[in-house]
A and B are shown apart, each in its own frame.
Chain A
Amino acid sequence: MSTRKIVTIVEEIVTEGGRPVEPAARVAVVAAIIANPWDGQGFVEDLNPGIEATASDVGALLASRVVEALGAPVEAFGKAAIVGLDGEIEHGSALIHTLKFGDHFRKAASATTLLPAVEKRGPAGVVFDIPLKHITDATIRSHHQSIEVRLADAPHPGEIVIALAAAAQGRPQQRLAPLSTEQ
């Protein structure tokens, strides 16, 4: 895996809707900007060798960093793969839609559910939203949320941005009735 840059973003929401959020709501994102393993190879039928060479390593790198950046127990999580313009969205999906990638984060966060994801192709500086859901029960409505990310100079055409997001809580002023009350 050839990593050009690692970016960490932490958002702290101190007030929302004009009211204090105590403690401040924290959401962390860590993104690795890596060379697309299939760049310049034309249509590659079998993506497995590239997945084997990359997915676990990038998953391990990001999982430990995003848990550390959050600095609190993870309650909601999500992931992203943003492919540069020369690649296929399938390349990004290949790296994040495998247990080899996600299990590192699930283990670090004591999570059991699948990671919600965004996959997208775009130029450097493209804006993307990472969806997050609860780490053990994806139906917990209070924890449905997303975080917007933009990296000024990534991905280049031959790169992929792989990111993980972690939240220490649900939405800052969550007050919707639980799903179960609607049945």
Chain B
Amino acid sequence: MTERSAATAGIRKIVHYQEEILLENGTAPAVPAVRATVAAVVSNPWVGTGPDTDLSPATERLAPQLAHVLTDRLLESLGGAEQVEAFGKAAIVGTAGEIEHAGALIHTPYFGNLVREFLEGSSIICFADDRAEAGQALVVPMWHKTHAATRSHYQTITTRVSDGPRADEIVVVVAASTGPRPHPRIGDRATDPTVTSAILEGASA
């Protein structure tokens, strides 16, 4: 089923990257986390079309298939949606496309709502996008899937496909983490003091 989806979605290649931090600054994280990205390289269906082209028909056809293929692999490797605490998404469009084409595949409900549903989140999904040559690395931001302002879960992961995107392709990425940064200790909104420029000036006077 998944392989059929990959082929029908026009996917050339899927790259799954996962990292597990055992030591950070020489010490094991109190809450170990696994971070992962899954990137799919797809043909850009809008290459050669003008800026007045309606992007919605191809978006409605392709984006749900990509959401399925990418999240299936993430969930399989991370151990299910209950393990996922933070998420993010990204797209890199090849040089013959518009950034708007990248956005069309990740910024509509046909992708974002499904990724959120499959990963059992409720937050807006944070993102990165770029237009680049094949092999360009992209740093993908992630935040908490149900409480986006949870500072411990602000984190990033680098995604890269060695031979994609070609000029007429788009790399579409979903990222997830099973926990916080290795040693989170920069407070949270609930514990922050009130900080304004006037208060800071008063403190230094």
Interface of A with B (CB < 8 Å)? Answer: 2-16, 20, 22-24, 125, 127, 148, 150, 152
Extra inter-chain contacts (9) besides given A3-B22, A9-B17, A12-B6, CB under 8 Å: A6-B19, A7-B18, A7-B20, A8-B17, A11-B13, A14-B7, A15-B7, A127-B135, A148-B163
Scan residues 133-191 of chain B and give those whose CB is less than 8 A from a CB of chain A: 135, 137, 139, 158, 160, 162-163
Q: Give how many A-B residue pairs fall within 8 Å (CB-CB).
A: 71
CA distance A113 to B22 in the complex (A): 32
Whether the Cβ atoms of A14 and B12 lie closer than 8 Å is yes
Scan residues 1-49 of chain B and give those whose CB is less than 8 A from a CB of chain A: 3, 6-7, 11-24
A2 proximity list for chain B (CB < 8 A): 23
Interface centre among B3, B14, B19, B135 (most CB of A within 10 A): B19
Interface of B with A (CB < 8 Å)? Answer: 3, 6-7, 11-24, 77, 135, 137, 139, 158, 160, 162-163
List the 7 closest A-B pairs by CB distance, nearest first.
Answer: A152-B158, A148-B162, A10-B16, A12-B14, A8-B18, A4-B23, A7-B19
> B171 → chain A, closest Cβ, in Å?
13
Contact A4 to B13, CB < 8 A, known contacts A20-B7, A23-B3, A24-B6 = no
Whether the Cβ atoms of B14 and A4 lie closer than 8 Å is no
CA distance A3 to B88 in the complex (A): 27
Whether the Cβ atoms of B17 and A4 lie closer than 8 Å is no
> B18 → chain A, closest Cβ, in Å?
5
Chain B minimum-CB-distance residue to A28: B16
CA distance A127 to B137 in the complex (A): 11
Whether the Cβ atoms of B22 and A6 lie closer than 8 Å is yes
Whether the Cβ atoms of A4 and B21 lie closer than 8 Å is yes
B7 proximity list for chain A (CB < 8 A): 14-15, 20
The answer, among B6, B24, B139, for a CB contact under 8 Å with A4, is: B24
CA distance A135 to B163 in the complex (A): 26
Chain B minimum-CB-distance residue to A125: B137
A16 proximity list for chain B (CB < 8 A): 12
> A84 → chain B, closest Cβ, in Å?
15
Whether the Cβ atoms of A150 and B23 lie closer than 8 Å is no
CA distance A2 to B3 in the complex (A): 39
The answer, among B15, B18, B135, B158, for a CB contact under 8 Å with A11, is: B15
Contact A13 to B12, CB < 8 A, known contacts A3-B23, A4-B23, A24-B6 = yes
The answer, among B15, B135, B163, for a CB contact under 8 Å with A9, is: B15
Whether the Cβ atoms of A14 and B11 lie closer than 8 Å is yes
CA distance A8 to B77 in the complex (A): 10
The answer, among B13, B20, B24, for a CB contact under 8 Å with A12, is: B13
> B195 → chain A, closest Cβ, in Å?
31
A12 proximity list for chain B (CB < 8 A): 6, 13-16
CA distance A70 to B12 in the complex (A): 19
CA distance A152 to B12 in the complex (A): 24
